[in-house]
Amino acid sequence: MEAAQLLKEHELFELLPAHGKVVTLDADLPMKHALDALSSHSATCLPVWDSFQQRFVDVFTCTDLVDIVLYTHRALAATSGAAMTDSEPRSAPTRGDAQQAIERCQLRDLHGLSRSKHSGFVMASVDDSMYHGCLMLKQHGLECLPLGDTSCSTALLHVLLPEQILAFIATSPGFREEATTNPSALFAAPLSSTALPHCAPPTTVLQGTSLSDALALLSERRLHALPIVDGEGALRDIISCRDVRHLASTSQTDDLTTRVEECLSSLPQVPCRLHTCVPSDSLASAIERLASVEVAQLVCIDERGCVVAVLSSAEILTCLLAQPAAS
């Protein structure tokens, strides 16, 4: 089974859920309500509708939250610095000011924000092939792909996440058989020769790093997750843009001087938050694990426990697109 050919033979329409709804946000909605919507729906991205223009104008994501938190704190710091040199003294920011500023800003403000991801709204048609959808995700650097009945439609039918494509592949006839019975097949090949070459060199932070420095790296390097290592370089934890969703909604982003591991201790307790793999694991095993909405990324580690790469659905799809498709 050739992965690229499989994606070319099936339409995005097949990935629409039988039941469900599309949650959208109004551009004039205060960030507080947008945070509530992300949390209550366990969403990583939500489309933004502009009532004045009568069209979708953006997609609000957890990555945007990182930029918004940093922008707000830097703006308050600049105001505080100006207050100290101004001939007419003004009160410096106090505890809670940053959180209130974050919650007051509107989604419309995203247009004027310097963001670490591409802005704007790109939509695909449900009649497009899954291969075309994967290309759009890669070429536009999208975290999700809005789907309409046409590519220029104002009727939004679904917001497709990359892991849904992986889930489709993982349940395709022949996937497991090929991965387990054909050692020369792509899905049976190790990550070291398939997905890892498509991963960027890993960026890590030491334990004790401030939340401010961690968020700055997430934003500046356009990362979705940042491994936390000890003095020996061994993996100890990870902070992701998804984590920032919870931190912002629970006012944990008011003080960015807090050590990142202290912030992470406030996250809801789950059976497993840190998911790892090794270079010798098969591509099939990574696809099956990343197909779950509970696994946003796999941290690939070596025999010493040091980080080799951070593997997400995006790198898997890039790997599959790189494979030749039958004509």
pLDDT in tens, 94-125: 567 888 888 888 777 765 565 666 667 889 99
> What's the pLDDT at 324?
63
pLDDT confidence tier of residue 297, bands split at 50, 70 and 90 = very high
What is the pTM (predicted TM-score) of this model?
0.87
pLDDT (0 to 100) of residue 94: 58
Same fold, 3-65+104-169 and 185-321: yes
Mean per-residue pLDDT for 299-318? 96
pLDDT for the residue numbered 166: 96
Per-domain boundaries in the chain: 3-65+104-169, 185-321
For 170-204, what is each residue's pLDDT tens digit?
Answer: 999 878 777 777 777 889 999 999 999 999 999 99
Give the chain's mean pLDDT. 87
pLDDT score, position 90: 46
Domain 185-321: give its CATH architecture: Roll (3.10)
Give ∠ CA 115-117-119 in degrees, rounded to 5.
80
Q: What is the pLDDT of residues 40-62, one digit of tens each?
A: 888 999 999 988 888 898 899 99
CATH of the domain spanning 3-65+104-169, picked from 3.40.47.40, 1.10.3720.10, 3.10.580.10, 3.10.129.10: 3.10.580.10
Please tell me the predicted confidence (pLDDT) of residue 228.
97
Note the pLDDT tens digit of each residue in 152-169.
777 899 999 999 999 999
